[in-house]
Amino acid sequence: MLYFQVMEHFITPFLNAFAINSTWREPIATLFSLVVLVFIAIVVRILGKLINHFVIKKTIQRTQTQWDDIILEHGVFSSAASIITMMVLLALYPAFFPVQNMALTLLGRVLVAWLVILITQLITRTLDAINEIYKAASPEVAKRKPIKGYLQMGKIFLYIVSGIIIITGLLDISAIGILSGFGAMSAVLMLVFKDSIMGFVSSLQLTGNDLVRIGDWIEMPKYSADGDVIDITLQTIRVRNWDMTITSIPIYALISDSFKNWRGMSEAAGRRVKKSIFLDMKAVRFLTEEELNHLEKIPLIEGYLSSKRAEIATNNAQLDLAKDDNVSGRRLTNLGTFRAYVLAYLKAHPFVSKEMTCMVRYLESTAKGIPMELYFFSSDKGWVNYEGIQSDIIDHILSVMGEFGLRVFQDLSGWDIPNIEKQ
């Protein structure tokens, strides 16, 4: 062949010049062939990367469609370039090594197994891209009818088939023999490796659905777990709790039982605050004109009170009410005005998220008064800062409550009883 004629022309004079023994000529020629083959593979791989970066990527960036960007992001073209490189290796392999020995035969089988792995990688990346394209094309349909589960089933089947092909190729045995052997050993395998098999299947589901990652904060009260995930193995997940203890959870428990993952909070624009303050209902009343004039000097509710007073005055004028009728018309209450102030205060606060829900509402009245709930999101999600922000807000609200003629409800304490007459 042409390659061996060239090799004979260049290598033989070199071997003769150094008086290389005939025993070493074949290994040296084999090593030279391997070096040349690897060099060709590297050149092909570099060319593939250059084409992928300067041709395919640039072309895709110019298009207006989104599906090709998704395919590029999932590395489909990169996997295709790797497959082309491996196919070039396999195509040139017989020409470089026409005479086979045990090591070269094993090398050929490894190259074939590698090609199977690359093809499997290409198909799985393509399936992931298909799922993203499906969700991007029809978000509402994708929420109602997701296809991720079906694609995952396809991946599992693909992994099994690829594994069988690789094993049979490396060992040079029939796939039928392996399948029949698995059938005979299935009962024993299920008994001996029950936890490992359950862990493996569970880990596939956890990884495929992206339920847990290392570093996630999870809560699982059943196993006394409340902290960061520090390790994920085939059988267990280790969680470092906030008291610095370590909890080990069987990995299949995260599939069979429920748990809370706080990753959504850390990835969101804010961390939720949901606090209630119980107000004494006996303090709720209408505001006088003097009180309204005083409260209207507060910048946060100046515009609110001006518009509300004008609106109420117009509405009451249309009703033609008697001067001493304080019931039929509309009037501002200290509770409603206080709620408007608290809402304005939250919206103006620098650490309250402006992108997420922010509201102040009343909950159902109880024997302890009327609960006013603050519902908002802190833009600073760090635990210490988060607690400090909501504490400062509660401090301020409790402090300014008296300006609106309101008071917080509080059960009697030991100090209150002997001082009831003094109050």
> pLDDT tens digits for the chain (423 residues)?
444 444 554 555 555 555 555 555 566 666 776 777 778 788 888 888 888 777 887 887 788 888 888 888 888 888 888 888 888 877 777 766 665 667 667 777 888 888 889 899 999 989 888 888 888 888 777 765 667 767 877 887 888 888 888 888 787 777 666 666 666 566 666 666 676 677 777 777 777 777 888 888 999 999 999 999 988 877 788 999 989 999 999 888 888 888 999 888 888 888 999 999 999 999 999 999 899 999 999 999 999 999 999 988 888 888 877 666 777 788 899 999 999 999 999 999 999 999 999 999 999 999 889 999 999 999 998 889 999 999 999 999 999 999 999 999 887 766 666 666 555
Question: According to the model, what pLDDT value does residue 372 have?
Answer: 95
Question: According to the model, what pLDDT value does residue 5 have?
Answer: 45
Q: Considering 245, 267, 289, which residue would you say is the last residue of a domain?
A: 267
In a domain, 37, yes or no: yes
Asked if residue 415 lies in contact with residue 288, where contact means CB atoms within 8 angstroms, the answer is no
Question: According to the model, what pLDDT value does residue 401 have?
Answer: 93
CATH number at residue 221: 2.30.30.60
What is the number of structural domains in the chain? 3
183 and 37 within one domain: yes
Q: What is the 3-state secondary structure (H, E, C) of the chain?
A: CHHHHHHHHHHHHHHHHCCCCHHHHHHHHHHHHHHHHHHHHHHHHHHHHHHHHHHHHHHHHHCCCCHHHHHHHCCHHHHHHHHHHHHHHHHHHHHHCCCCCHHHHHHHHHHHHHHHHHHHHHHHHHHHHHHHHHHHHCHHHHHHCCCHHHHHHHHHHHHHHHHHHHHHHHHCCCHHHHHHHHHHHHHHHHHHCHHHHHHHHHHHHHHHHCCCCCCCEEEEHHHCEEEEEEEECCCEEEEEECCCCEEEEECCHHHHCCCEECHHHHHCCCEEEEEEEEECHHHCCECCHHHHHHHCCCHHHHHHHHHHHHHHHHHHHHHCCCCCCCCCCCCCEHHHHHHHHHHHHHHHCCCECCCCCCEEEECCCECCEEEEEEEEEECCCCHHHHHHHHHHHHHHHHHHHHHHCCCECCCCCCCCHHHCCCC
349 and 309 within one domain: yes
| CA–CA dist 163, 231 (Å, integer) | 26
306 and 219 within one domain: no
Question: According to the model, what pLDDT value does residue 279 have?
Answer: 94
Question: According to the model, what pLDDT value does residue 43 have?
Answer: 84
Structural domain for 216, as ranges:
210-267
In a domain, 419, yes or no: no
In a domain, 89, yes or no: yes
161 and 91 within one domain: yes
Tokens for 419? 């001082």
Question: According to the model, what pLDDT value does residue 115 have?
Answer: 87
In a domain, 204, yes or no: no
47 and 99 within one domain: yes
In a domain, 188, yes or no: yes
Question: According to the model, what pLDDT value does residue 303 have?
Answer: 92
In a domain, 342, yes or no: yes
In a domain, 203, yes or no: no
| CA–CA dist 339, 373 (Å, integer) | 10
142 and 16 within one domain: yes
- Which residues, in sequence order, are CB contacts of 81 under 8 Å at separation 6+? 45, 48, 49, 51, 52
pTM for this model (two decimals): 0.58
301 and 241 within one domain: no
Tokens for 211? 């339920």
Question: According to the model, what pLDDT value does residue 319 have?
Answer: 80
Asked if residue 377 lies in contact with residue 357, where contact means CB atoms within 8 angstroms, the answer is yes
Q: Considering 136, 164, 192, which residue would you say is the last residue of a domain?
A: 192
Q: Considering 192, 218, 251, which residue would you say is the last residue of a domain?
A: 192
In a domain, 423, yes or no: no
133 and 120 within one domain: yes
CATH number at residue 332: 3.30.70.100
140 and 66 within one domain: yes
144 and 61 within one domain: yes
50 and 166 within one domain: yes
229 and 123 within one domain: no
